[in-house]
């Protein structure tokens, strides 16, 4: 049984912990954090299903005052695991890497860290094999993760050589107070980092993109214009490919999926913890042919979309499965991805 620890119990860390706990061939040894945040207090109120370890600088008296039990130090946790999932604030993961290296423990970092922190910039479908046995992996951002899922899906089936993307980006996660665009959209300089990141993961594809910040919180929407290497991808061909992918949920407007908030509400109605969805949504209505290009739109549930690919990273780094097909299939099985097709 592979032993896993999680550093940082915030927006992503909570979901990483839950994701590992669902994998029947992995054991979540514990989580580590600095302060008794609301997330940690909620964990206590749920009966402390995960063991808590305190990072350097944590004030133990505050945990004691809140009645929150802890098992030991961050170093204690590192010494008990095969791999750490680091979802610490940006820049902290790079410092933590020194502790992992000293202990001989592998690690996977989230999108907030610089690419230089890892040996491989990783995606479960597009370059799983490059992560086999590698000590340090870094996940792509939420937008890039979902974007690559859809582009890789078409690329595997038909071959893609060029994409152009437009990202309609949520400005902050639900509950965040540090950003406050009101009645305004904000442009980023082109090309967006997601387009550049896609080319890093999939260097055979030429990509460019534009990003627009929007004053919403429940998910990003990305439009993609893709061009095939040979021939033309029709709407029916694209739809056929998308419907076979267990991390892409094909929906229609007539079903009630009017936009990003529809997915969030549906996830809550399904009873998914925190209203999470691991899969991206893709509107069948948005798939259109434009000359030799195929265009479509996807919804990115930014808080949870990277969790499956992180589980894939564990499988690759520890050589649990030898290739993308078997590795992603195991992750999908334990997370219940694709179950809506039955």
Contact 38, 30 (CB under 8 A): no
**Annotated active-site residue in 31, 142, 205, 233:** 142
Is residue 173 annotated as involved in ligand binding?
Answer: no
Which residue, 106, 57, 109, 115, is CA-closest to 87? 109
Domain 142-300 CATH assignment equals 3.40.50.720: no
The pLDDT value given to residue 342: 73
Domain coordinates in residue numbering, the chain: 2-140+306-341, 142-300
Per-residue confidence (pLDDT) for residue 267, from 0 to 100 = 96
pLDDT at 90: 84
The predicted structure's pLDDT at residue 178? 62
3-state DSSP call for residue 325? helix
Question: DSSP string covering 136-169, please?
Answer: EEEEPPHHHHHHHHHHHHHHHHH-EEEEEEEEEE
C-beta separation of 80 from 29 below 8 A = yes
User: What is the model's pLDDT at position 309?
Assistant: 98
Q: Which residues are registered as beta bridge partners of 27? A: 3
As given in the structure block, the two tokens for residue 303 are 């808080």
pLDDT of residue 13: 97
Q: The domain 2-140+306-341 is classified under which CATH number: 3.40.50.1110, 3.40.50.720, 2.30.290.10, 3.20.20.370?
A: 3.40.50.720
Phi-psi region of 99 (alpha: psi -120 to 50; beta: other; left: phi over 0): alpha
Look up 142 and say whether it is catalytic: yes
| pLDDT tens, residue order, the chain (342 aa) | 999 999 999 999 999 999 999 999 999 999 999 999 999 999 999 999 999 999 999 999 999 999 999 999 999 999 999 999 999 988 899 999 999 999 999 999 998 899 999 999 999 999 999 999 999 999 999 999 999 999 999 999 999 999 999 999 877 667 665 666 668 889 999 999 999 999 999 999 999 999 999 888 788 999 999 999 999 999 999 999 999 999 999 999 999 999 999 999 999 999 999 999 999 999 999 999 999 999 999 999 999 999 999 999 999 999 999 999 999 999 999 999 998 887
Q: Give pLDDT, residue 55.
A: 97
Question: pTM (2 decimals)?
Answer: 0.95
């Amino acid at each position: 049984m592979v032993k896993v620890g999680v550093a940082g119990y915030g927006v992503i860390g909570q979901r990483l912990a839950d994701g590992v706990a669902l994998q029947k061939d992995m054991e979540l040894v514990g989580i580590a954090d600095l302060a008794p945040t609301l997330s940690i207090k909620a964990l206590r109120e749920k009966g402390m299903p995960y063991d808590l370890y305190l990072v350097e600088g944590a004030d133990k008296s505050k945990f004691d005052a809140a009645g929150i039990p802890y098992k030991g130090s961050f170093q204690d946790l590192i010494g008990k695991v095969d791999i750490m999932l680091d979802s610490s604030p940006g820049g902290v993961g790079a410092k933590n890497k020194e502790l992992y290296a000293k202990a001989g423990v592998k690690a996977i970092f989230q999108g907030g860290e610089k690419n230089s922190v890892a040996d491989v910039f990783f995606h479960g479908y597009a370059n799983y094999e490059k992560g086999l046995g590698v000590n340090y992996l870094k996940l792509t951002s939420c937008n890039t993760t979902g974007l690559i899922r859809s582009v890789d899906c078409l690329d595997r089936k038909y071959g893609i050589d060029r994409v152009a993307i437009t990202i309609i980006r949520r400005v902050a996660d639900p509950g965040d107070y540090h950003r406050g665009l009101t009645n305004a959209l904000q442009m980023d300089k082109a090309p967006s980092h997601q387009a550049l990141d896609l080319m890093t993961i999939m260097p055979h594809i030429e990509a460019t993109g534009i990003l627009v910040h929007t004053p919403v919180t429940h998910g990003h929407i990305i439009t993609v214009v893709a061009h095939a290497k040979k021939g033309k991808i029709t709407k029916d061909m694209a739809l056929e490919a998308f419907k076979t992918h267990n991390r892409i949920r094909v929906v229609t407007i007539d079903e009630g999926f009017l936009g990003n908030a529809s997915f969030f509400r549906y996830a809550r109605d399904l009873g998914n913890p925190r209203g999470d969805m691991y899969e991206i949504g893709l509107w069948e209505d948005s798939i259109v042919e434009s000359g030799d290009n195929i265009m479509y739109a996807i919804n990115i549930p930014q808080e949870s979309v990277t969790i499956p690919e992180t589980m894939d990273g564990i499988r690759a780094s520890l050589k649990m499965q030898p290739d993308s097909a078997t590795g992603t299939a195991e992750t999908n099985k334990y997370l219940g991805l694709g179950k809506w097709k039955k």
